[in-house]
Structure formats: structure tokens, C-alpha cells
Amino acid sequence: MKKIIITVLIVVFALHAKADEGMWMLNNIDAKTAQVMKELGLQLTPQELYNPDGVSLKDAVVDFGDFCSGVVVSSNGLVFTNHHCGYGAIQKLSSPEDDILKNGFVAHSYKQERPAEGLFVRFLQRTENCSSRVLSALDSIYRANPDVEQRLLRKDHIDSICNAVEKEYEQANPGLDCQLKAFYGGNAFYVSIYKVYRDIRLVFTGTNTMGKFGGDTDNWMWPRQTCDFSVFRIYADENNEPADYSPKNKPYHPKRYAKVSLDGYQPGDYCMTVGYPGSTSRYLSSWGIDERVNAKNVSTIQVRGKKQEVWKKFMDADRAVAIKYASKWASSSNYWKNSIGMNKAIADLGVIAQKQQLEQQVKEWYNGREDLKARFGNMFDALEKAYAERRENVYAQGFYNETFNRGVEIGTVGSKLSHMPQDVDSAQIAATRESLQHFFKDYDAALDEATTAALLQNYREQVTDQKYWPSCYKDIDSLYNGDCSAFAHDIFSKTICKDISCLDKLLADSTLRETDPILRYAEEIQDFSQFLYGRQRENNNIISYNERLLTQALLEMDQETPHYSDANFTMRLSYGFIQDYTAQGQHFQYYTNAQSLLDKAAKQDEIEDYELEADIVRLMQKGKWGRYADKETGDLHLCFISNNDITGGNSGSPMFNGRGELIGLAFDGNWEAMSGDISFNSSLQRCIGVDIRFVLYLIDKWGKARNLIKEIGH
């Protein structure tokens, strides 16, 4: 076992990188990798990229809120990220009377900056390899339990070992956030140590039409003209250390910030992203990909489509509701369209067939040696059988989760209250009250009732096997003659769970736990979740164990090819160059300009996603770009593409040139390569970024925020 572990680690971490594909750990850039990057145009050394004992480029990049990335661009803690990354914070700060989500916001002084409650950023301090500790501890457990299958021991023990190691790091690094995560399918383990700042304030956001230009119509598409950026500032205490919000806090002074470049780019120019990609599955088996397409994505597409139809009617009818649901809509529609694009690209590019060919190569590789066959010879049969056995359940669970956990919002209230003690002085009561206050700020009961009725009916139509129906359907059929709308109307009219008063009502009358319909159903829904999970637990363990074996086999079989770990929201670097592409006979150039924005805005009467305020149209029509114009074309470049390897979580990632200067912010991928989380296609996959010159132009000319332009150094 130990020999195998050592072999795998050597294979994984001593390989050089390709120019385009790959999400690489900054602390593992070897000499060969550094040489490739240098030949492409990087002028920084590996130590200038990552130096835990000094100052390096990684110190300018932040984990933005644990869901996006961002970059510090001034000595006073100014942070650039995407508009859609700041969207939730902007929405929370908006109201019908002060609708900054629609109209934008500009702070011309520190005093005007608005605290973004609940938002935080993390700075990576260092990353350390814990693989030997975790795998050695697991090996000891295997030796102590020789009669128990390893797959039955692995997951629970891995979790407990990782938790123990993580706690040790937290004790040794007081005040820091320590996160231990698995890499390479669980064949390696690293701990990342962060400093977290929680006083974050909104500085600048453009209008909603600017930040979301193109909306759902253009989402995941190229060409784009979206000015997808927002600006925040980090605040710290008098010692420049993390602190909760206080009027006494001062702008944070970073160890390193990124210089903003107006020099632009040309095809073939080096381009590098540094950020926090969330999740990829590039080592996933062909059976896993098939399940993703046909058993998981279908529920995301189908249920969210139904939900968004209902939401849109209410949002279009009432601006207050539109503000409440703006961030929820953005999140829901983003992954709805992502799933549509992924399924299409996987089919169009033949991804499953490609993976099957690779698996055949693995079989031929291990069949030639008895020692390899002993280790890997059973994994494909085990995967095929386990995926087949859980298929029906996974399909039902996808629809269940999208309906009852992500669709029927009032169930969230019922779940929180059902777990709440009756002790009025309990700390949990205070925490529940705070949580519910946040929830109800962005909640509309009438919308939720209509959504509940539609999704309950949809669930029974899509999941026809009644063993997957929660018990509420017995009541719908017996008491409401199968009418889901009547059922929804009745339970919403009788429940206390529609506003913040529910908490005090329950504290005053504990019998409501048994009589309130939402509280009753919340308990049953939770039990049903456990039922669904329990039905597939055994197959989940088999799949997890054998998918890890497959990753290990791929690493050992192809030792001459560079291998990177799947994304897991840890800091990664991708590098490549500015590049256009051709798809289905159509050629796409590497940038968009102001005229392309005006061309789309001219269609706003036909396509509402192309709406643009008249003052912005007039500004763009003037064509006076000044120092923000591209030196070669004379145009204002809006967005551009590179062959960098990104995924969700990379949103807001800085796009650097070879000198480590900021030239853009990554915000999207392209439709033709939506299978990228599963399989990277170097000829098609592109990273879409907003040009930093477009960002500065709007800050300067639309926002008239000369204070920010001066702070950035321009």
C-alpha cells in the first residue's frame, strides 16, 4: 500500500504542464512547467507567483465569499470581481426606494461605501501537503481490519482523519481558517490556510443592464459585450488585521496588489488566470458521465424551467418581488442553462464514446501485468453494476431535490423551525431568528404558493413510480382530489411559516409542531430524503471507491502526460494565450467592440436582455475612448477570449499578462464547449473575460469616479 501511494504521488506532482488545459496548484510548479510558461511569455518566476514566506502574486488574489474569485488592485484594499459575483450583496443593499441593483452605485469617498453584510474574502497564506499523514493513517486502519473491504472503510475514515488533521492545523494557526481537501480523486490531500476578512463594503456597481447585458440570451455564449464587474473594498482594524464591521475600521493594506494594465493584448499573447475553480469531473468514468447527462442534468433542466416560468410572472408584475428574487433567479437560471449546454456539448462532441475508448486503453494496460490486474481488474465491472443499480434512484432524487429542497421555499422555514428547541433563551433561537430574518427579506409567499403548486404537479408527472412520492401526495389525492393547487393554497392559508412571526408563534404554542401543515410536512420531507439516500448508500460507496481507483490507474498508465487534480475550490493557475476559434463553420474573433454592443442594444425592443439605458448608449455612440482605446484597432475592446481552463468559481478571476498585470476579469465560458467540466476540448474551449479597459472606461466616464481611477494608478 505505501509503495503504491509513493508511486502515485511521484507521478502526480513531478509532471510538466500543457499550454492550455489544466488547473494547476501554484505551490507545485516544477522546473519543466515553469519553462513552458516562460516560453509562452510569462516573465515571472515560480517564486513570484507563490511564496508563502514572502510576497507573491497569489497575495493579490482572493476567494470572494466562498463562491467566486477576485483581485486586489490598490494599496487600500480595492477589490475587482464580477458583477454577478457581487450580485447577491448588491441585491441585499437594494430596495424599491433605493434601487441600486437597477440604477448602479458609485462611492466617491470612503464614507459613502456601503457595508455588505455577510460577505467575506479569504487570502491564501500557504498550502501544505498532508497526503502521507492521511494515507498512512488510512493504511493503518486497513491493516487493523484485514477482513473488511477497503471501500467500506475508506469514506468515513478519510473524513475522520481529515477532520483530525484539520483541527491540528487550526490549533497551530489560531485566527486562521484551515481547510483540508482531497485531490486527484482522493489519492492526495492538501491543507490550505487562509486569513479571512469580513468587513467588506460596496464601492461601485454599474446598472443592472450593464452588469448583466445579454442576460439569459447571451449567458454561456460568445461573442459577449457584458461589463461584468463590481468593486468592493476590504476593511481591517488599526493593526490591518481581520475584524467584524466597525465604523472605526480602516481600508486594508495588502501585501501585494495587481497593477492594472492599459496595454491590451494580441492573438498569441500570454494569458494567465489565478482563482478558485469550483468543481470539475475530468477523471469521471463513462458510466458517471452518462448518469450526469441522463439522470442528474435532466432534473435541473426540467424543474428549474418550470420554476422560472412561475417566478418570471411574479417578478415582471412587481418590482419589489423582482428585487427579492433577482439573485435567486440568476443562480437558478445560470445552472439551468449550464446543464442544457453541457448535455448538448457532451452529445455533439462524443464525450462518452471518447471516455469509453480511454477505459479500453486502461483495460489493455492492466491486462498486460498481473500485479496491475490484481489492483484494477475489477473496477470497471463494479462501476457498471453500481451505476446501473442506483440509476432509477438518482433520477428520482434529482427531481426530489430540485422540487422539495430547491423549489418549495417555505419548506426551508419548516425545516428550521422543526429543529428549533422550545427554550426561548437558547442560543439556537437567536441564530434561527437571524437566519429567518435574512430569508424573509427575500421571500414572497404568493410566489412560493404558485411555485409549490406547479412543482408538486410536475413532480408526479416526471417521477411516475409512486414509491418515490413523499406522503403529501396521499393527502393531495385523498383530501384534494389530486388537485395540487388546492393543496398548496390550503396549506399556505393555514401555516404560520409565511413571515418572521412564525418563530414567536411556535415558541408560544408548541402544539403547532403537530398541527401546522408546513411543520408536519417538513419532518416528513426530511425523513424521505434519508429514505432516498439510504437506498443508494451501498452503491455510492462502491462508486466512490472505484472512481478513485480509476483516477489512480489513469495517473499511473500515462506518466508522460501532465495531470492536474479536478477543481475543488482551492487556488489554481491556468495559463495559455489569447486565441479565437472556429465552431460549426463559423469563425469567432478574439474580442468584441463598442459597435457590437450598440448593434445588440438596437434590438432591445425585441429582446429585453439587450436593454441599455439611453445615457449609456449615448456615451458609447460618442466613440471617444481616449487612453482606453486599443492601440492597434483604435476601438474600445469590451470582452475577449483566451484558451485558459476555467469553471464555476473562477468568476472574477484576474486575467494576467506575462508581466503579471491585470488585463481582464474572467466571467464565463462558451456554449460550444459546455462539456468542459467533464472533458477539456482545446480547439473549442474558451475563457471569456471583460477587458479591464472597458471596466475603467465605465468607472471613469459613466461613474465619474476619478477617485477610483486615481487610486488604481491611472
2 has pLDDT over 50: no
Q: Which residues are catalytic?
A: 84, 228, 651
Lowest mean pLDDT, pick from 18-32, 163-177, 293-307, 477-491: 18-32
Mean predicted confidence (pLDDT) in 25-33: 84
Classified as helix, coil or strand, 9 is helix
Answer whether residue 7 shows pLDDT above 60.
no
pLDDT tens sequence across 394-447:
999 999 999 999 999 999 999 999 888 777 677 888 889 999 999 999 999 999
* Average pLDDT value for residue range 183-204: 97
Half-sphere exposure of 78 (CA within 13 A, CB side): 23
119-144 pLDDT, tens digit per residue, is 999 999 999 999 999 999 988 887 88
C-alpha torsion sign, points 438, 440, 444, 447? positive
In DSSP notation, 418-445 reads HT--S-TT-HHHHHHHHHHHHHHHT--H
Distance between CA 196 and CA 185 in Å, rounded? 27
Check if the beta carbon of residue 271 is closer than 8 Å to that of residue 662: no
Collapsing DSSP to helix, strand or coil, 7 comes out as helix
**Share of residues in the chain with pLDDT > 90 (%):** 86
pLDDT for 16: 37
pLDDT digit string, tens, across residues 290-345: 999 999 999 999 999 999 999 999 999 999 999 999 999 999 999 999 999 999 99
* Main-chain phi, psi angles of 290, to 5 degrees: -60, -40
The pLDDT of residue 627 is: 96
Instruction: Write down the residue that cell numbers 449609456 correspond to.
Output: 616
Write down the pLDDT at residue 29.
82
Residue 11 is predicted with a pLDDT of: 35
* pLDDT tens figures, 57-111: 999 999 999 999 999 999 999 999 999 999 999 999 999 999 999 999 999 999 9
pLDDT at 12: 37
> Which one-letter DSSP state was computed for residue 260?
B
C-beta of residue 393 within 8 angstroms of C-beta of residue 498:
no
Phi-psi category of 537—alpha, beta or left, where left has phi over 0 and alpha has psi -120 to 50? alpha
Q: pLDDT tens digits for 626-685?
A: 999 999 999 999 999 999 999 999 999 999 999 999 999 999 999 999 999 999 998 999
In whole angstroms, what is the distance from residue 695 CA to residue 203 CA? Answer: 14
